[in-house]
């Protein structure tokens, strides 16, 4: 069975009762160059609201999308629709697998055997991989969703399980995960291609985890979002109690954030005005 061997946790709204307060992986982000990034990826989790026009509205402003593939929401039809939209807007396609938990939208920790979890995640990735092949689109990356994402970030065994799945089912496909986490550490130890991700619209804690949505100030708003994106892209840092060095290759904007489409447009315009090119890794 999978247990929380490496994480502390505290109640929160974000994952229906569990928020992962990750133990630092031992990776050093303090020696980073102060030079700005010349390009950065903007990503969004899509295919999660099949009866909404959100995907079509946000697609022109991002460079990468993560497509829900049946674990928390989604099915073959919605996956195909989102892949076709991504192809239309020249957006890189990623699979967004989850704990098999539609009831809780993949935001609650599951007690599930490693074999069953491996089977579920492999099947979810295969759905996106197969449809990408049918539509003539390259599968660019895999980004775990919700509780699975946070569990992997602070649990070496879950990170290793995800790495094993990728090496077997999608070798060479990027793994997108939380910057400065066990996910990045495990990928690095195996020289597996990894995209370090940061967040535009969430407040960070001093341990580089995301603040619980149940706490005041957890979700950032327009001016704060634009400021945080600039700091991540230009200065490789985020503000918690003080400044934290954090080098990211991709920045995520949540589709359910207030004014998400407008924010996506403003983020892109702000970064491009600073000479930052928006492109998939």
Residues in CB range of 248: below 8 A, 6 or more apart: 40, 179, 196, 197, 198, 232, 236
pTM of the model: 0.87
The 10s digit of each residue's pLDDT in 220-236 is 999 999 999 999 999 99
Q: What are the structural domains, with CATH classification, of the chain?
A: 7-23+37-278 (3.20.20.370)
Give the angle 56-169-135 at the CA atoms, nearest 5°.
Answer: 35
Task: Between 49 and 267, name the one with better pLDDT.
Answer: 267
The 10s digit of each residue's pLDDT in 25-67 is 434 444 334 445 589 999 999 999 888 899 999 999 999 999 9
Residues in CB range of 227: below 8 A, 6 or more apart: none
- The three-class DSSP label of residue 78 is helix
Cα 96 to Cα 78: distance, rounded to the nearest angstrom = 13
What per-residue confidence (pLDDT) applies to 37? 58
What per-residue confidence (pLDDT) applies to 213? 72
The 10s digit of each residue's pLDDT in 190-218 is 999 999 999 999 999 999 988 877 788 98
Computed from CA positions of residues 188, 153, 86, 218, in that sequence, does the dihedral angle turn out positive or negative? negative
Structure tokens at 280: 């998939």
Please list the residues that pair with 40 across neighbouring strands.
278
Q: Of 105, 115, 190, which is closest to residue 149 (Cα–Cα)?
A: 105
């Amino acid at each position: 069975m999978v247990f929380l061997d490496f994480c502390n946790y505290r109640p929160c709204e974000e994952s229906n009762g569990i928020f992962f307060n990750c133990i630092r992986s031992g990776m050093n982000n303090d020696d980073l160059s102060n030079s700005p990034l010349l390009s950065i990826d903007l990503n969004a989790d899509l295919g999660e609201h099949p009866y909404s026009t959100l995907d079509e509205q946000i697609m022109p402003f991002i460079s990468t999308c993560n497509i829900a593939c049946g674990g928390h929401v989604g099915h073959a039809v919605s996956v195909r629709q989102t892949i076709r939209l991504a192809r239309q807007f020249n957006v890189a396609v990623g699979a967004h697998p989850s704990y098999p938990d539609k009831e809780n939208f993949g935001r609650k920790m599951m007690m599930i055997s490693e074999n069953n979890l491996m089977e579920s995640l492999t099947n979810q990735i295969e759905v996106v991989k197969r449809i990408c092949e049918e539509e003539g689109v390259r599968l660019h990356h895999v980004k775990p969703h919700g509780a699975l994402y946070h569990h992997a970030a602070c649990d070496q065994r879950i990170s290793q399980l995800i790495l094993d799945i990728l090496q077997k089912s999608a070798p060479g496909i990027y793994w997108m995960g939380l910057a400065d986490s066990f996910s990045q550490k495990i990928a690095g130890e195996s020289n597996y291609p990894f995209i370090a991700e940061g967040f535009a619209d969430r407040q960070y804690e001093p341990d580089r985890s995301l603040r619980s949505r149940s706490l005041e100030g957890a979700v950032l708003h327009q001016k704060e979002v634009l400021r945080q994106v600039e700091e991540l892209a230009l200065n490789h840092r985020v503000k918690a109690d003080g400044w934290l060095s954090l080098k990211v290759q991709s920045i995520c904007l949540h589709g359910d954030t207030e004014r998400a489409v407008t924010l996506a447009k403003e983020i892109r315009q702000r970064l491009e005005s600073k000479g930052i090119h928006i492109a998939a890794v």
